[in-house]
Amino acid sequence: MNGHKRPAPTSSIRTALILGASLLAGSVSASEVSFERLVASEAAGEWLTYSGTYRSERFLPLDEVNRDTVDDLKVIWAYQMQPNHIPGAGLQETTPLVADGIMYLTESPSSVTALDARTGKRLWHFSPVLPPGVLHIGFPKVNRGAAILGDTLYVGTLDARLVALDAGTGAVRWETEVGDNAIGFSLTLAPLALDGKVIVGVSGAEAGVRAFVDAYDAETGELVWRRYTVPAPGEPGSETWGGESWRTGGGSTWLTGSYDPELDLLYWMTGNPAPDWNGDLRPGDNLFTCAILALDPKTGEIRWHFQYTPHDVHDWDANQIPVLIDAPFDGEDRKLVAVANRNAFYYLLDRETGEFLLGTPYSKQTWAAGLDENGRPIVLPNSEPTEEGNLVWPSLQGATNWFSPSYNPVKQRFFIPNRRMGAIYYKAEAEYEPGQPFMGGGEQALSGDEATGAVLALDALTGEQLWEFPLQTPPWSGLMATSGDLVFGSSNEGNFFALDEDSGQPLWNFNTGAHIRTNPMGFAVDGKERIAIVGGSTLFVFGID
């Protein structure tokens, strides 16, 4: 499949395509976010990318809300997301963007809304028409956010299109078909905008797709390059796939990556091989699945890679957020990339070379005796799925998942939303059929008292645990540290809270009344700090009056 540009639709066709971008107050003053501004987006008050900055620290450098003032935090405004027209698309996993006083919020499955960041007033709304029976094999009908570059917003759709919108009106500028939804491709991630390019990855490994990372021209929507995560015969890594298994190898790329403008390297994570639980059908290490890829953003060339879980048979995608850290390591200043992996190990790599530097378990796991000197797991015997079922920790949902960690670059602390759950893994036969599940087994996760969670604080450079804040159930939401010495997080039951960063002690909480399945974010408007979270289908924005 080659991505291709569709011309900007005429006004009559556009209405059919998007149900109209409803302009409640006419055109609004559009944000103008240059690449240079994205690079410098550590500036207080900006939230211009999915993870806050290209470094993906999800750290808010504001301190109006701190240990002494957090008790005064209250809801400033709230926004109720629009009723969707797709059954089952009620989960909201979005992180908003804020630029020039305007918030850009995606709503599942694929809509975008512009809000006045001061009041929550809706400025415009875009809702694409999705085909009946849109496929979403192995994942919910969600959208995690948008990207902005210049005066254009970029959003992916559940049926695998990339759409460019006018940031001032919501009008469609162009749209591009990224993959064929009929065989399982979908876009659920927030794109990443670079200098003149928009980067996207795909969902669909559970349908046996051969996944990729794409770069599109930001102005035209033309495909610039495509990097497959499963190599074809003769390409580097192809020897790690037996027979014809590469054709349906998976390796989804469904979570937003990170970028180092100084090294000009793009860091993108990859998911599980397919079929998920029957490794007999794909002998070998199955590169480049369950890995991090350092890509040349100009060409898509793989500069280096590191595979966290070779020949994965537990569905432990490496689709977690890679956090870029500059710090001394073993007495030498290093450019690092840190990942709390779904497989229950915390890793540090040199982000210039991919050299393995550190790996240590941060959660209960029963599948590996540890990591060797190169970071390869030392797999324990009898830890694979069986026809009868085999109990292994962690569950397929992992010791963490897609939701974001947070890193405080001042105190060099790494915060992890930790899921503590095992599962009984089953192995079964699998036969590929386009557009159908291709999994080769299943799992039964432990529940009740056997499943808990925590917020963990680690020393980012050693992996040593500093403290933990226990949760009654495994979380499905991320974290955000701030300059106010706080860590914001959520429980699965809908409790939004602030912890003391030094001790992990709870200082404040607010019950949203609904499950929380997203990440906190923050911004400043009119010089006032704001903290935002989505509970259920309501966006809550907090501040100190």
Taking the C-alpha atoms of residue 37 and residue 171, their distance in angstroms, rounded to an integer, is 24
Is the Cβ–Cβ distance between 376 and 366 less than 8 Å?
A: no
Collapsing DSSP states into helix, strand and coil, what is residue 135? Answer: coil
Phi, psi for 94 (deg, rounded to 5): -85, 150
Taking the C-alpha atoms of residue 529 and residue 541, their distance in angstroms, rounded to an integer, is 10
| Helical ranges in 2-41 per DSSP H | 11-18, 35-39
Amino acid at 283: P
First vs last Cα of the chain: how many Å apart?
52
Active-site residue list? 315
DSSP 8-state symbol, 71? G
Q: Which two tokens stand for residue 109?
A: 């499955």
Taking the C-alpha atoms of residue 58 and residue 522, their distance in angstroms, rounded to an integer, is 9
Provide, for the chain, the percentages of residues in helix, strand and coil under a 3-state DSSP scheme, each rounded to the nearest 5.
5, 40, 55
Taking the C-alpha atoms of residue 200 and residue 266, their distance in angstroms, rounded to an integer, is 12
CA atoms within 13 A on the CB side of 76: 21
Q: Which residue has the tokens 């499943």?
A: 451
- Give how far Cα 46 sits from Cα of 31, 140, 468, 497, Å: 12, 29, 29, 22
Q: Based on the number of CB atoms within 10 Å of its own CB, is 331 exposed (0-12), middle (13-18) or buried (19 or more)?
A: exposed
Is the Cβ–Cβ distance between 236 and 227 less than 8 Å?
A: no
Phi, psi for 313 (deg, rounded to 5): -125, 15
